[in-house]
Structure 1
Amino acid sequence: MNIPILHNGIANKIENLLSQMTLEEKVGQMTLIDASVVTVGEEQKADNPIDQAKLEEAIVNRHVGAILNTPYTPHNKAQSVETWRKIISSIQKTSGKSRLKIPVLYGIDAIHGATYIKNAVLFPQAINMAATFNPELSTREGEITAREIRTAGLQWNFYPVMDIGRQPLWPRLWETYGEDVHLAAVLGTAYIKGHQGDDFSAPDKASTCLKHYVGYSFPINGKDRTPAWIGERMLREYFLPEFEVGVKAGSPTVMVNSGEVDGIPGHANYHYLTTILRGELDFQGFTVSDWEDIKRLYTRDKLAATPREAVKIAVMAGVDMSMVPFDFSFYDLLIDLVKSGEVPISRIDEAVSRILTVKYQAGLFEAKPHSFYEESPVQLAEAAETNRQAARESIVLAKNANHILPLKKSARILVTGPTANLLSVMNGGWTITWQGDDESLYPKDKLTVLEALQQKSTGKVTYVGGKYFDEKINVQKAVEEAKNHDIILLCLGEKPYTETIGNINSLALDQAQINLAQAMIATQKPVILLMLGGRPRIISEIAEQSAGVILGFLPGMEGGGAIADILYGYYNPNGKLPISYPRHTNGITPYDYKPIESFELNTYNPLYPFGHGLSYTTFQTSGLKVEKDKITRGENINIAVNVKNTGSFKGQETVLLYLNDVAASVSRPNKQLKAFKKVDLDPGQDENLSFTLTPHDLSFIGVDLKRIVEPGEFKVMVGKETVNFSVTR
């Protein structure tokens, strides 16, 4: 039995508590139910949505160990801090009535701030946080999110997403930190550091959950919860490293891949869940299923012949807690499986010990009833400013022909397009509601792009557009209005979505947006194209004919102001693309392509490459050098480069360092990001930067599926410069 390694007497407490528990109490701890199971219906409009009789049935009679989500599923939406406190207080009080008084762990999706708490600070989504190339901002986001969920009494956050986004059709791409392994690892661990600190039982900290282990983000057809075909080498090279660093960063829980890899559903994959996660990565926490996915081994995947067999397969594969979520079927079936001897009690004890360990580590056994964290006015002000800065740094200026940007404050601007006057299109899914598409629930004090422009402009700003994303725009009216304006701001993109509801068949924009764009370009007025949404929709022809292109993705609640600041030059843009922006619908090739992908007629030809992003000033790197021409396989190597602001504005630049293993026993990418630094420079100012590459940075997954460093030549690339060094035996 794999009992977690513990210190400070927790192991003894776990052993003592486990010895007192009945089978039913143990299996209850492995059961995670939706809040709707213990709350009244939304139509009842209760001040406290808890149904006490249902709650006692779940906790006292069924011994349920965890609850998730907001009340009133499927119309789940953000609740006030006061309502959350009543919910959590009711749960605390009821768990105190149970025989062993084991506290309940409450989980929530707080993926860009405290999603389901009214008036919370809602940050740019992960794809935007990656575009900042600023780990400090990710750490601050984690700190603020943890603080705000603890203010409401919540203790467990289903975040960060450590999958990497290498399939742009996938409707959860924007929940990732982009296509690169190193960038995702750095940003994800920075978030965990902020969210958990050194002790996630602290009153302003909370536990995290790594999602979605493993391979979920690479479905071959691009649709959510469909098969991925990932070989073991590719899995270990691209998809496991982010989870490995997340485990090392101390995240105590892992949510299981809701899809399947190489024909094995995530919830049935013993090799991934036990052999690798436990045996190789040394994960000591507990694994939790995704939504109803144990049942789906029977209903969807046809791996199990019965629901009972599905529970057995999942638990024996290594799933510790089941997000059932609407009933107690998992509880009933697992008790029966143990009583029949089909699931050994040792496996139950293993899972329960992991769950209880996290509860002890989270301080739940020591929690004072009705004690909640209180944010100070200073903390609230700092959080709002951090969010504004994150939004600014996340915007990518992709094109600026003839320096059309920044605009004069007096410029006459025609604003049109479906994303111009909505907050939801800047936030995406998991915002106030699951899909994030109920505009009526968005805060009235936040600014859309249009409203932010009107607030900052001294010139004429005219809007031609619909009230909702899919409302038909009067194109002829827009054409007529364009005659009276200097600039057209064309706002295109996507409506909010997440998960399977966001599945699409093509990255192409819908025809209505293309028609509007063509009509605006035909006016021969300068067009600034602004894209908002979670995926890189195809804009090649529009971008070619536009004077400027801004890729906003999902910059959060402060996105409108951030975009206006950049358009008018109040802020100098510095965001960099964390993905390759495709030129064609099927032109999906990541930046770290293999040599065969750029050979003869094959090319890497995105519209905008990974790391692309312009500024209103210019930067130049020079003097790239390595400390040694030769190192042994166990040595680090130090690298230096100079970066200078060669323009006339103060600005920030992200210096990206790439590595290429020139020849190896397994084909190597043309380059891989291994380090980056972001610097703030005045005009004419320069700075010498130093980087250290470790043997791990030089390694890859070899022929025998083991990580190795092979002797040979390596190239280091920064900007336009390349230097070589060699590794000897």
Structure 2
Amino acid sequence: MLFRFSPALIAQENYETKIEEFISKMTLDEKIGQLIQRIGVNEEIEKSIREGKVGSLLFGIHSPEEANRVQKIAVEETRLGIPLLFANDVIHGYQTIFPIPLAEASSWNPELIKKACEIAAFEAASDGTNWTFAPMVDIVRDPRWGRIMEGSGEDPFLGSIISSARVKGFQGDGPANGTGLKDKTKIAACSKHYVAYGGAEGGRDYNTVDISERTLHEVYLPPFHSAVNSGVASIMSAFNDLNGIPASGNYFTLTEILRNEWKWDGVVISDWNSIGELVKHRFAKDKNDAALKGFTAGVDIDMAGDTIDGNIYSPNLKNLVEQGLITVEQINKSVRNVLRMKFKLGLFENPYTDIEFFKKNNLEKSYKDSIALQLAKESIVLLKNENNLLPLKKEIKSIALIGPLADNPEDVMGVWSAAGKPDDVITVLKGIENLIGDNTKINYVKGCNINDNDTSGFNDAIQSAENSDVVILVVGEEREMSGEAASKTDLNIPGIQEELIKRIYETGKPVVVVLMSGRPLTINWVSENISAVIEAWFLGDQTGNAIAEVLFGDYNPSGKLPVTFPRSTGQIPIYYYQKSTGRPFIDKEKYTSRYLDSPNSPLYPFGYGLSYTSFSYKNIKVDKNRIDKDDFVIVSADVSNTGKFEGEEVVQLYIQDEVSSVTRPVKELKGFQKIKLKPGETKTINFKLIPYMLSFLDKDMKRVIEPGKFNVMIGGNSIDLISTSFEVIE
């Protein structure tokens, strides 16, 4: 007999009641099936779906027709008709490829990032995906770690703002109960990797993480809490161990914090076989023990547990019930979480992808491209512009365009490019051709490859430079040099590209270096010797158009670094909100916190980025000199465009607690606004500092606001700031 519920009835009744009805009728095998995620689609998996032993699929669904065919098996050929979740890695676009997330963070424009995620959700949903494993919200202070490209950089405040924007972009702006997910154009988000995965020792992927509980709460948890407050449907447990306990078997983080403290009722899914890997951590003695420890810690769904090293939740959860080590009610609790997510997505009412709806309501390509272009432009960071070499004049007679990334549609997409196609990518060569017309001769030469020692193209590149008025060198990383399992100890520009830059520099021609990478690179020689340097990251489909508009002044660059650029790997980890220490750095005094062979300062600081115009900051004020602990203070400053171009500026607010019962960072970001000013225009920018922004965890890990003096600073990066102060009183 089939136990079914009409869509109309389900729509009318509270889904929590319906969840309990389902659970009351499910066998143990069917319940465990909801906690199993299989990889791809084949005959064996389809058989398991019919038997109610699969709750979700990762990959294998590449069209709405295929999604509906497989969904029909679950809905119409199983005993209870529970629909499947179809998951995918929609990281920075689906068909339209946007800049990599680290680049998007350089825009400091959460509303624009949200729009990009809305487009990605629409495209993915139209192809049958209803669950993405994004956003990655790991805070990263070590650029050796390849997955830095997938997040929003080093700062928990900025990271939390962008975390919320991405979740709302994928899922909609509905309340935290997830009702916005029923929109056909939305998909469930999954914040990852919970937690502190970005703190891997040595920047080596999957490596151990050993941090204080204070650092966990103040640095690594806030972007996840922001996602939870924004209604994120799911969270992914990480590969790493955290202070001796693997993240995918960590009751403290998965249950005590996530469930008990934050009162979150979404789905926790493991990373790829991360429960099975509890055995390799030597935290579990076998797969059965791994299933016990992962499940009782709080992981609902076992991802990829059917791989050769997996087979974790199936069959071991049933074995554990039979052994009396877990209860059916514990299984029911996780099943509730999974069914709740499916109800929030509206899958019980509308389990199929509405092909006709998406055909009739498809987003215009021109709109999608316009958002991709604007976000790409705002993601570009101008690092250096000596003697105002940029912007270039469109009337220039000849340009040497040199480098292995100048006409490379594959690498500029970045990793995790989903259903994107290189044919849709505008390369730098094509973008410049599109913009400047036929009056300028473009002498394009590849020059060298990204990562080998073949110098056979050098002579042609040098000749191209000598025969041109200006040189644009487009260099950097292959896209697979960043991302998962892409840690590096050498952050120099790969291969012989820097040698090529030096040979071109020797021609005496003006040189612009456009750097493409998934992480900060160590570019000391380039920074010291090349007149104009742009960090372009990997910008996706609109790469060439965005870079061309910046190079020739159609767009005035406004990007700001979301992560510090080190001078060398020896400085890592380096980030702006470090502590003072008992012996702060003093120049020329040996017994202070310093290096013998390097400045302490970064090559480029957090929040840094130049413009073709200039901005001045004056008249910083607070509206109250003294406040009590429950009050707020308004901080203001006048920002003026003192240059010749209209431009955008990211105005940044930092605070410093001058004396506290535990040591605090030298400064902490607490606000930012992106503004546009015409030449000669001045705006007064106001920030509201609420009590929570002044609080911290005391020695007993209790959140407090202590009386005393607070310094407040406003400026265009984390170093060049004007300041004032106010006092908090008892």
Same fold (TM over 0.5): yes
**1:207 and 2:188 aligned:** yes
Report the alpha carbon displacement of residue 226 of structure 1 after superposing the two structures with TM: 0.7
SS of residue matched to 1:102: coil
Aligned to 2:177: none
User: Are the counterparts in 1 of residues 634 and 687 from structure 2 also a CA contact under 8 Å?
Assistant: yes
Identify the match of residue 397 of structure 1 among 357, 361, 382: 382
**1:108 and 2:88 aligned:** yes
Aligned to 1:232: 213
**1:64 and 2:54 aligned:** yes
User: Are the counterparts in 2 of residues 294 and 324 from structure 1 also a CA contact under 8 Å?
Assistant: no
Aligned to 1:44: none
Identify the match of residue 250 of structure 2 among 250, 254, 269: 269
Aligned to 1:49: none
Q: Which is further off, 375-384 or 186-195? A: 375-384
Report the alpha carbon displacement of residue 468 of structure 1 after superposing the two structures with TM: 5.8
Q: Which is further off, 10-19 or 410-419? A: 410-419
**1:629 and 2:625 aligned:** yes
Aligned partner of 2:426: which letter?
Answer: L
Identify the match of residue 23 of structure 1 among 22, 28, 33: 28
User: Are the counterparts in 1 of residues 50 and 73 from structure 2 also a CA contact under 8 Å?
Assistant: no
Report the alpha carbon displacement of residue 728 of structure 1 after superposing the two structures with TM: 1.0
Identify the match of residue 606 of structure 1 among 602, 606, 624: 602
Sequence identity of aligned pairs in percent? 35
Aligned to 1:724: 725
Distance 1:445 1:242, change over 3 A: closer
Q: Which is further off, 654-663 or 680-689? A: 680-689
Aligned to 1:88: 68
Q: Which is further off, 661-670 or 685-694? A: 685-694
Aligned to 1:283: 264
Aligned partner of 2:15: which letter?
Answer: I
SS of residue matched to 1:172: helix
Aligned to 1:3: none
The CA distance in 2 between the partners of 1:308 and 1:716, in whole Å, is 54
Q: Which is further off, 203-212 or 600-609? A: 600-609
Aligned to 1:492: 475
**1:665 and 2:665 aligned:** no
SS of residue matched to 1:679: strand
**1:413 and 2:404 aligned:** no
Aligned partner of 1:688: which letter?
Answer: T
Report the alpha carbon displacement of residue 493 of structure 1 after superposing the two structures with TM: 1.0
The CA distance in 2 between the partners of 1:252 and 1:702, in whole Å, is 32
Distance 1:386 1:311, change over 3 A: same
SS of residue matched to 1:530: strand
Aligned partner of 1:418: which letter?
Answer: P
The CA distance in 1 between the partners of 2:99 and 2:461, in whole Å, is 30
The CA distance in 2 between the partners of 1:317 and 1:243, in whole Å, is 18
SS of residue matched to 2:157: helix
Alignment of 1:138-157 (within 5 A): 138-157=113-132
User: Are the counterparts in 2 of residues 55 and 91 from structure 1 also a CA contact under 8 Å?
Assistant: no
Report the alpha carbon displacement of residue 467 of structure 1 after superposing the two structures with TM: 8.6
Q: Which is further off, 401-410 or 685-694? A: 685-694
Report the alpha carbon displacement of residue 639 of structure 1 after superposing the two structures with TM: 1.5
The CA distance in 2 between the partners of 1:727 and 1:607, in whole Å, is 35
Identify the match of residue 445 of structure 2 among 464, 469, 487: 464
Aligned to 2:18: 13
The CA distance in 2 between the partners of 1:456 and 1:592, in whole Å, is 41
Identify the match of residue 277 of structure 2 among 293, 296, 299: 296
Give unmatched runs, 5+ long, in structure 2: 1-10, 175-179, 586-591, 716-720
The CA distance in 2 between the partners of 1:368 and 1:227, in whole Å, is 41
Alignment of 1:255-404 (within 5 A): 255-298=236-279, 300-327=280-307, 329-367=312-350, 369=352, 371-372=354-355, 373-374=357-358, 376=361, 379-404=364-389
Alignment of 1:216-227 (within 5 A): 216-227=197-208
User: Are the counterparts in 2 of residues 91 and 104 from structure 1 also a CA contact under 8 Å?
Assistant: yes
Report the alpha carbon displacement of residue 610 of structure 1 after superposing the two structures with TM: 0.8
The CA distance in 2 between the partners of 1:94 and 1:356, in whole Å, is 14
User: Are the counterparts in 2 of residues 173 and 217 from structure 1 also a CA contact under 8 Å?
Assistant: yes
Aligned partner of 1:442: which letter?
Answer: K
Aligned to 1:523: 507
Aligned to 1:696: 692
Identify the match of residue 415 of structure 2 among 414, 426, 429: 429
The CA distance in 2 between the partners of 1:88 and 1:690, in whole Å, is 51
The CA distance in 1 between the partners of 2:700 and 2:469, in whole Å, is 62
Aligned to 1:249: 230
SS of residue matched to 2:197: coil
TM-score (norm 1): 0.91
Report the alpha carbon displacement of residue 133 of structure 1 after superposing the two structures with TM: 0.7
Distance 1:219 1:368, change over 3 A: closer
User: Are the counterparts in 1 of residues 93 and 417 from structure 2 also a CA contact under 8 Å?
Assistant: no
Report the alpha carbon displacement of residue 710 of structure 1 after superposing the two structures with TM: 1.0
The CA distance in 1 between the partners of 2:449 and 2:86, in whole Å, is 35
The CA distance in 2 between the partners of 1:466 and 1:526, in whole Å, is 17
Report the alpha carbon displacement of residue 352 of structure 1 after superposing the two structures with TM: 0.5
Aligned-CA RMSD value: 2.0
The CA distance in 2 between the partners of 1:709 and 1:625, in whole Å, is 22
User: Are the counterparts in 1 of residues 67 and 352 from structure 2 also a CA contact under 8 Å?
Assistant: no
Aligned to 2:426: 447
User: Are the counterparts in 1 of residues 93 and 418 from structure 2 also a CA contact under 8 Å?
Assistant: no
Report the alpha carbon displacement of residue 324 of structure 1 after superposing the two structures with TM: 2.5
The CA distance in 1 between the partners of 2:72 and 2:380, in whole Å, is 43
Report the alpha carbon displacement of residue 347 of structure 1 after superposing the two structures with TM: 1.2
SS of residue matched to 2:513: strand
User: Are the counterparts in 2 of residues 338 and 345 from structure 1 also a CA contact under 8 Å?
Assistant: yes
Report the alpha carbon displacement of residue 553 of structure 1 after superposing the two structures with TM: 1.0
Aligned partner of 1:359: which letter?
Answer: K
**Deviations along 1:341-375, whole A, 9 cap, x unmatched?**
11121211111111111111110100154524416
Aligned to 1:591: 576
The CA distance in 1 between the partners of 2:351 and 2:483, in whole Å, is 37
Identify the match of residue 567 of structure 1 among 525, 534, 551: 551
Identify the match of residue 160 of structure 1 among 110, 126, 135: 135
Aligned partner of 1:723: which letter?
Answer: T
**Deviations along 1:593-638, whole A, 9 cap, x unmatched?**
2112842343641111111111111122222111101111121211
**1:186 and 2:161 aligned:** yes
Aligned partner of 2:122: which letter?
Answer: R
The CA distance in 2 between the partners of 1:70 and 1:644, in whole Å, is 53
Aligned to 2:5: none
TM-score (norm 2): 0.91
Report the alpha carbon displacement of residue 466 of structure 1 after superposing the two structures with TM: 6.1
Aligned to 1:43: none
The CA distance in 1 between the partners of 2:128 and 2:144, in whole Å, is 36
Report the alpha carbon displacement of residue 418 of structure 1 after superposing the two structures with TM: 2.0
Report the alpha carbon displacement of residue 54 of structure 1 after superposing the two structures with TM: 2.6
**Deviations along 1:537-596, whole A, 9 cap, x unmatched?**
111112210010000112221111101111111111111111111111222310112112
User: Are the counterparts in 1 of residues 275 and 312 from structure 2 also a CA contact under 8 Å?
Assistant: no
Aligned to 2:6: none
Give unmatched runs, 5+ long, in structure 1: 1-5, 40-52, 72-78, 115-119, 434-440
